[in-house]
Structures are given as C-alpha cells and as structure tokens.
Structure 1
C-alpha cells in the first residue's frame, strides 16, 4: 500500500513537472492571454459603471421631479388654507410627507451609487494603468524572446558556416593533393620513358654526342677540310 502511494505521488510529481514544462514553453502566450482576459474584465467593469451611473442619474431626475411636485403641493396647501379647507390641506400635507420620504430614501440610494461609482472608476483607472504596464512588459518580453531566438539562430548559422569552411578547406586540400598526384605520375611516366622507353638508348647516344647523324656531319666536315 505504501508502494502504491509512492507511485501515485511520483505520478503527480511527473504531471506537475510536465505542466510546468508546458507553462514555461508557452509563458509569453499565457501572459498575453491573461492580459486579454484582464482587459475583457475591465470592459465588463465599465459596463457595470455605466449601469450605476445611469441608475444614479435616473434617481436624481426622479428626485428633482418629486421636489417640483412637493413645491406644487405646498402652493396648493396655501390656497386650501386661504379658503379654510383644512381637510384638503391635510391630505396635501400627507402627500408631501410621502413624497419627502421617497426623496430621502432615493437620496441615500444616490449617495450609495455615487460611492460605488467613485470606487469603480478608481478601480478601473488603476487596473487600466497596470494593464498598460503589463502590455509594455509583454512587448519587451516578445522583443527579448525574438532577440534570443535570433542569437540562437545566428549561433547555429555560425556553426554551420564554420563547418562549411572546414569542409571547403578539406575539399581544397584533397583537390590539390589529387592534382599533385597527377603531376607526379606524369613526371614519373616521363622519367620511366626516358630510362627504358623505345627511344631511350638513342636519346642517351645523342645526348653523349655519339648520334649517327651527328657523326655523319662531322665526317663530311673532315673530308671537306682535307680537300
């Protein structure tokens, strides 16, 4: 049982290591997607902020209308009192009381919405600034990754060029050796021909000044001198 637990632990460790390898290999892509997710979150927050602002504006507009109604009722009460209609005046006053309660409740709601609007605005602004920073960091990370990739590629090309130069040097040396071998062979063949070829003996006689033609010429010269 202990062995099985250790195997399970080892498997979890292997999965974790594999996951970390995948994360490291895709770190920039993951970072960029997280920025996109955060930007989408800000967009949703802006929509919520717009809703809060609209609610606040509607409540303020409703309160303004209620205040106008209260002012109108107050004027109606004054006229009712002039004609000594106490009942009507009381009814009007009761209506004013209800409207004032509504105004007070809505004022509290407006204050809460204003606070929420202020907090949301500050949060969106702060998040926006942070995302701009992350965007700049993403650009730097991409540029760095491109530079590192280019450096690795350049190093690979340099190694390839070095290998090619070595190969070229070796090939040139081989060509020179082959050409030298051909020249040496030709010289050797000429030397052999001079030593043991068909005309080798005649060449030696001629070289020694004992050639037949030369002897004949000399004889002719001697004969002419005697005449």
Structure 2
C-alpha cells in the first residue's frame, strides 16, 4: 500500500509539473484571457449598478408622488374637519399615516441603494483602473516576448551565418589546395620530362654547347677566319 501511495503521489506530481509547463508556455495568452474575463465582470457589475440606480430613481419618484398625495390628503382632512366631518377627517388622517410610513420605508430603502450604488461605483472604478494597469503590463509583456524572440532568432541566424562562413572558408581552402595540387602535378610532369624524357639528352647536349647546329656554325666561323 505504501508503494502504491508513493506511485500515486509521483503521478500527481507529474501531472502538476506538466500543467505548470503548459501554463508557463501560455502565460501571456492566459494573462490576456484573464483580463478579458475581468473586463466582462466589470461589464456585468455596470449592469448591476445601472439596475441599482434605476431602483433608487423609482423609489425617489414614488416618494415624490406619495408626498404630493400626503399634501393633498392633509388639505382634504383640514376641509373635512372644518365641516365637522370627523369620521372623514379621521379616515384621511389614517391614509396620511400609512402613506408617511411608506415614504419613510422607501426613503430608507433609497438611502441603502444610494450607499450600495456608491460602493459599487467605487469598486468598479478601482477595478477598471487596475485593468488599465494590467493592459499596459500585457503590452509590455508582449513587446518583451517579441524582442526576446527576435533576439533568439538573431542569435540563431548569427550562429548559422558563422557556420556558413566557416564552411565557405573550408571550401575555399579545399579549392585552392586542389588547384595548387594540379599546378604542382603539371610542374612535376614537366620536370620529369626534362629529366628522363626522350628529348632530355638532346637538351643536355644543346645546353652544353655540343649540339650539331651550334658546332656547325662555329666550324663555319673558324673557316671564314682563315680565308
């Protein structure tokens, strides 16, 4: 059981490491998606804020109407009292009481909505400011990633160029060596022909001044001198 537990732990560790590798490889993309999710959250919060504001406005409008009704009922109650209609005056007073209770309740609700509206507005503004900061950081991260990628490509290309230069130098040296070998071979062949070829002996006789043409010319000169 202990061995199986260790194997299970090792597998969980492997899965975690694999997940971390995936997260690291897609960190910028994940960060950008998280920003988009946060922006969508702000949009939903704005809708909620709009709903709160609409509720507050409706309550305030209803209270205004109730206050106008209370004023009208007070005037009616005063007239009923003046004509000694105590029962009608009492009923009007009861209606005024109920409406005032409603006004007080709705005023309290409107105040609570106002407080909630302010808090929600403040939170949305703070979140929006943070997202702006994250957006700037995302742009910097993207620019840095592009720069690093370009640098790596430049380094790779530089190494590739260096390799090509080395190959070119090696090829050039090989060509020069081959050409020099051809020249040396040709020169060696000429030397061999001069030393051991069929005309080598005649050349040596000619160089020694013993050649037939030269001897004949010298003989003619000697003969002419005797005339």
Give TM class, smaller chain: over 0.9
Q: Which residue of 2 aligns with 1:165?
A: 165
1:127 CA displacement: 0.7
Which sits farther off after the overlay, 159-168 or 116-125? 159-168
Which stretches in structure 1 are left out of the alignment for 5+ residues? none
Higher mean Cα deviation, 15-24 or 44-53? 15-24
Q: Return the alpha-carbon distance in structure 1 between the equivalents of residues 162 and 4 of structure 2.
A: 53
1:92-116 residue CA offsets vs partner (Å, 9 max, x unmatched): 1111111111111110110110011
TM-score, normalised via structure 2 length: 0.96
Whole-angstrom CA distance in 2 between matches of 1:96 and 1:210: 159
Deviation of 1:81 after TM superposition, in Å, equals 2.1
Give me the CA root mean square deviation: 1.2
2:3 counterpart residue number = 3
Q: Where does residue 68 of structure 1 map in the other structure?
A: 68
SS in 2 for 1:67: helix
Q: Does 1:121 align with 2:121?
A: yes
Structure 1 SS opposite 2:198: coil
Instruction: Flag as ranges the 4+ runs of structure 1 deviating above 4 A.
Output: none
Distance of 1:60 and 1:211 partners within structure 2: 140
The alpha-carbon deviation at position 26 of structure 1 amounts to: 1.0
Between 92-101 and 120-129, report the one with greater CA deviation.
92-101
Q: Which residue number corresponds to residue 103 of structure 1?
A: 103
CA distance in 2, matches of 1:212, 1:72: 160
Which range is displaced more, 139-148 or 107-116? 139-148
Q: What's the CA shift for 1:225?
A: 2.2
d(CA) in 2 for partners of 1:135, 1:158: 34
Q: CA deviation at 1:190?
A: 0.7
Question: Normalized against structure 1, the TM-score is what?
Answer: 0.96
Shift, 1:140, TM fit: 1.5
* Worse-superposed segment, 212-221 or 179-188: 212-221
Aligned length: 227
Partner of 1:57: 57
